[in-house]
């Protein structure tokens, strides 16, 4: 059994969660402990004593811990990449890329730990000096989804520790293996006991307890809008700080003047790579009339060559869906879209491969409009719909016609349209001639509208959630 890590000790549990490989359901990745309410209580209490010690740590101590973890992840990236591919279903190259990114995130925040600065501002009054100091928030509860099982934990844990907080971390039930290894690495650093705690288990129990716990000063959550909204309400009730990163229905606009190869490769990458299981996936392809037919034809042809197979199989371009429930949901949305008038031009069916798994042919649906459910509800699978636009202005309006606002992309050779889109697309991240998914680790990440709530994550902006500010006035 892979155990929880509480107050510097590995702790087992009566119940466990079995994690299976979605590419091959006979492959058991492991049995993972399931924390109960007593374990959560212990973890929060341990974090309290850990927080008191860690807030006094020097920038060098913080750097050393984060840098050591970054180095260990880099050194083990092939092994961890295979594990990630097995637990989540991402193809090996994507999985290894995600592991590498997690290492870079730890290294980046190691650097941030020694660069944490306040501000010095002169007072309006004579002989008074003002310093704005940053202090750790305290104990933070970190709750993560299954689709980036090492990168998202890394981009929450690393800044939390860099800025002097203690952590109680709850990974997703569906993919806890890489999180367990992160905990194992942190347990072998110089972190004092209690500064980092791992409590695996159900969202409805472990997650809820953390969200409601008066000893947890802030919750950073990534997951679905439904759960995010519920968490925001609970946190508001007890006035805890909250940061939410949630779903998307991201548009990729393709204008008549786009380079067709660039547009097709942005669409294939954005909509179908990682099996479409990315919050930044291009699930809506908004295409102007002059290029529509050529684009759909070229995209369908490319999808016909896209190799869907076991995540570990050499040459696989798209792995399986994460589990049976998500696969059923994807297939049901293909049916809903057709029932509402959409035309399925490619895929959208279950596939059989050498091993039993949750394989699906990438789905492309044309002749859709904004009123259809497929264009305003997140599917979270390899399903993309095409919306026809008569010109750039209509395309922009369609792109923005969504409750979400995470990422938006445009393929065009017009500088004027690209610059206009950057200003007017209502999204936290805008991509020009690039897929809507795929971001750097050293710049802010997050969206607008229903996609995000609270301070942005990653890069130097991460400091906003994980610290509090004290304004000090001094008269010598
Ligand atoms: P989810 O909301 O079901 O679960 C996310 C996490 O929250 C899990 O650890 C889960 O156990 C926990 N949880 C569930 N109910 C809870 C509750 N009541 N209280 C506290 N915690 C609870 O999401 P998921 O299915 O794991 O992930 C898919 C979703 O995540 C998609 O909507 C996707 O768009 C989103 N996502 C967003 C981003 C982003 O940065 N915007 C990144 C990745 C995924």
- Burial class of 6 by CB neighbour count within 10 A (0 to 12, 13 to 18, 19+): buried
Which phi and psi angles does 108 have, rounded to 5°? -60, -45
pLDDT at position 11:
98
Distances from the Cα of 218 to the Cα of 118, 173, 207, 286, angstroms: 21, 21, 13, 38
Instruction: Residue count of the chain, please give it.
Output: 476
Mean pLDDT, the chain, whole residue set: 98
Cα Rg of the chain (Å, integer) = 23
279 is catalytic: yes
Tokens of 176: 């806890």
Question: For the whole prediction, is pTM greater than 0.85?
Answer: yes
Average pLDDT value for residue range 372-394: 98
- Protein residue with its CA nearest to atom 34 in ligand 1: 247
Q: Quick one: average pLDDT of 6-28? A: 97
**Can you list the positions of beta strands (E) in 171-234?**
196-198, 218-222
pLDDT value of residue 404: 97
The preferred substitution site among 145, 243, 455 for testing ligand 1, maximizing ligand atoms within 8 Å of CB, is 145
Question: Residue 53: left if φ>0, alpha if ψ -120 to 50, beta else—which one?
Answer: alpha
Q: Which candidate in 245, 378, 457, 464 is catalytic?
A: 245
Q: How far apart are the C-alpha atoms of 191 and 50, rounded to whole Å?
A: 9
Pick the atom of ligand 1 nearest to 326's CA.
25
Ligand 1 mean position to 282 CA, how many Å?
19
DSSP string for residues in 123-137 = -SSTT-EEEEEEEE-
Residue nearest to atom 18 of ligand 1 (CA): 204
- According to DSSP, the β-strands at 407-411 and 251-254 are parallel
Among residues 279, 378, 457, 464, the one annotated as catalytic is 279
Q: How far is the CA of 171 from the centre of ligand 1 (A)?
A: 10
Phi/psi of residue 4, nearest 5 degrees: -80, 160
Query: Could you tell me which residues come within 8 angstroms of residue 197 by beta carbon, excluding any fewer than 6 positions away?
Result: 4, 5, 6, 7, 43, 46, 47, 50, 166, 167, 168, 169
pLDDT tens-digit map of 250-283: 999 999 999 999 999 999 999 999 999 999 999 9
Tell which atom from ligand 1 comes closest to the C-alpha of 451.
Answer: 41
- Give the model confidence (pLDDT) of 206-256 as tens digits: 999 999 999 999 999 999 999 999 999 999 999 999 999 999 999 999 999
pLDDT of residue 292: 98
Q: Which residues pair with 347 in a beta bridge?
A: none
Q: Name the nearest CA neighbour of 359 among 382, 336, 384, 343.
A: 382
């Amino acid at each position: 059994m892979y155990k929880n890590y509480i107050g510097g000790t590995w702790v087992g549990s009566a119940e466990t969660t079995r994690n299976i490989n979605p590419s091959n359901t006979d492959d058991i990745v492991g049995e993972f402990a399931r924390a109960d309410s007593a374990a959560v209580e212990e973890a929060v209490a341990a974090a309290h004593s850990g927080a008191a010690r860690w807030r006094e740590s020097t920038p060098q101590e913080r750097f050393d811990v984060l840098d050591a973890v970054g180095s260990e992840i880099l050194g083990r990236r092939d092994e961890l990449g295979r594990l990630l591919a097995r637990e989540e279903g991402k193809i090996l190259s994507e999985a290894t890329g995600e592991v590498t990114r997690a290492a870079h995130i730890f290294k980046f925040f190691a650097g941030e730990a020694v660069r944490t600065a306040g501000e010095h501002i002169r007072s309006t009054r004579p002989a008074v000096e003002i310093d704005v100091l940053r202090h750790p928030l305290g104990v933070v509860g970190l709750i993560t989804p299954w689709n980036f099982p090492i990168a998202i934990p890394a981009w929450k844990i690393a800044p939390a520790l860099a800025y002097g907080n203690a952590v109680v971390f709850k990974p997703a039930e569906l993919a806890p293996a890489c999180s367990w290894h992160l905990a194992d690495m942190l347990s072998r650093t110089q972190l004092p006991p209690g500064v980092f705690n791992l409590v695996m288990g159900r969202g409805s129990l472990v997650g809820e307890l953390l969200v409601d716990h008066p000893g947890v000063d802030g919750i950073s959550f990534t997951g679905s809008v439904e759960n995010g909204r519920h968490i925001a309400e609970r946190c508001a009730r007890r006035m805890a700080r909250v940061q939410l990163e949630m779903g998307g229905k991201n548009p990729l606009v393709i204008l008549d003047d786009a380079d067709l190869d660039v547009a097709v490769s942005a669409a294939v990458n954005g909509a179908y790579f990682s099996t479409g299981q990315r919050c930044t996936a291009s699930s809506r392809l908004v295409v102007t009339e002059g290029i529509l037919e050529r684009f759909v034809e070229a995209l369908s042809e490319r999808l016909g060559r896209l190799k869907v197979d076991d995540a570990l199989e050499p040459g696989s371009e798209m792995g399986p869906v994460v589990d049976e429930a998500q696969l059923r949901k994807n297939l049901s949305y293909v049916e809903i879209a057709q029932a509402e008038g959409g035309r399925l031009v490619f895929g959208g069916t279950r596939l059989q491969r050498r091993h039993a798994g949750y394989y699906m042919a990438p789905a492309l649906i044309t002749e859709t409009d904004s009123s259809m459910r497929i264009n305003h509800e997140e599917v979270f699978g390899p399903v993309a719909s095409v919306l026809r636009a008569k010109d750039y202005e209509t395309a922009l309006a369609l792109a923005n016609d969504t409750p979400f606002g995470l990422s938006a992309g445009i393929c065009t050779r017009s500088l004027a349209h690209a610059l206009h889109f950057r200003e007017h697309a209502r999204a936290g991240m805008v991509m020009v001639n690039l897929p809507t998914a795929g971001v750097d680790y050293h710049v802010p990440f997050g969206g607008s509208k229903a996609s995000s709530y609270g301070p942005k994550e990653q890069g130097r902006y991460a400091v906003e959630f994980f610290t509090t500010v004290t304004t000090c006035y001094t008269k010598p």
